[in-house]
Structure 1
Amino acid sequence: MNDYFPRPGTASVPVLRLGDVLLITLQGDLHDGMAARLQQDVAEAIVRHRVAGVVIDITGVEIVDSFLGRILAEIAAHAKLLAAQTVVAGMRPAVALTLVELGLTLPGLRTALSTEAALELLGRPDAARSGGPHRDPR
């Protein structure tokens, strides 16, 4: 089952549930208010739906500054405390270089080149192919 969690009446980042994984797609700039709402939305969705993983797709992000790096690290830290793994997908080479130049190590974050690869890292290969939750054939 796929669920979409927009926060009504506010500019927010959509959080999509694919089985036991949350998918967040960042596009453009993320200002302070949106970042705080995103952190809260992700933490609440992890607990409400008992998800095991969070994929943050940053393919649409052209520039990462220390603010966005900190937000990604904080989301990963919150998720880890709530027993979920976080994978950042779709990082552009320029973004990776910027993160290194800024000295941001992003503890608790794993990376993948694509959303599909991120889902596979989380052990959800069926979700990567079909868009649905992983089903154990046993």
Structure 2
Amino acid sequence: MSEAFSGPVAGHVPVLRLGDVLMVTLQGDLYDSTAQRLQQDLAETITHSGATGVIIDISGVEIVDSFLGRVLAEIAAQASLLAARTVVVGMRPAVAITLVELGLTLPGLRTALSTEVAMDLLTQGSPRVGVRRESP
């Protein structure tokens, strides 16, 4: 079951909840005010929902510059302080090359090739619904 926490408003990035994971899809350029609002929305949503993971899909982003790299790293740091892990998906080869050329390491971020792999990464170690644990 997915639940939208934020509607599509100009300069606003929707945050969707998929179980214990929040999903954000970035499209096009991310401006200062939008990035700041996204960071605030994610922090508040993690706190209120108890989410344990954040997936950021950047497949709609043509260019990742140092600003976007810093924003992604800050989101991961905030999420980590709130006990949630962050995974970036949808990175194009040209974007990966640019990040390496810029020397951006994106600390605290994991990457995955698909949303499915990201979900698996974020749900590892978490008890799955319908799976029984045996008592010792």
TM-score, length basis structure 2: 0.90
Q: Output the CA distance in 1 between the equivalents of 2:96 and 2:106.
A: 11
TM-score, length basis structure 1: 0.89
Q: Are 2:127 and 1:137 equivalent residues in the alignment?
A: no
Question: How many angstroms does 1:10 deviate by?
Answer: 4.4
SS at match of 2:6: coil
Cross-structure match for 1:39 = 39
Q: Output the CA distance in 2 between the equivalents of 1:44 and 1:60.
A: 24
Equivalent residues of 2:88, 2:110 under 8 A apart: yes
Question: How many angstroms does 1:135 deviate by?
Answer: 1.6
Q: Output the CA distance in 2 between the equivalents of 1:20 and 1:30.
A: 25
Q: Output the CA distance in 2 between the equivalents of 1:34 and 1:7.
A: 14
* Structure 2: gaps of 5 or more residues: none
SS at match of 2:78: helix
Cross-structure match for 1:61 = 61
Equivalent residues of 2:21, 2:55 under 8 A apart: yes
Letter in 1 for 2:98: T
CA 94–102 in structure 1, closer or farther in 2 if over 3 Å, else same: same
Q: Output the CA distance in 2 between the equivalents of 1:64 and 1:55.
A: 17
Q: Output the CA distance in 1 between the equivalents of 2:65 and 2:23.
A: 22
CA 9–29 in structure 1, closer or farther in 2 if over 3 Å, else same: closer
Question: How many angstroms does 1:29 deviate by?
Answer: 0.4
Runs of 4+ with >3 A deviation = 7-10
CA RMSD of aligned residues (A): 1.4
* Structure 1: gaps of 5 or more residues: 125-133
- What is the aligned length? 129
Letter in 2 for 1:69: G
Q: Output the CA distance in 2 between the equivalents of 1:9 and 1:52.
A: 25
Q: Output the CA distance in 2 between the equivalents of 1:106 and 1:43.
A: 18
What does residue range 1-138 of structure 1 map to in structure 2 within 5 Å?
1-6=1-6, 10-123=10-123, 134-138=128-132
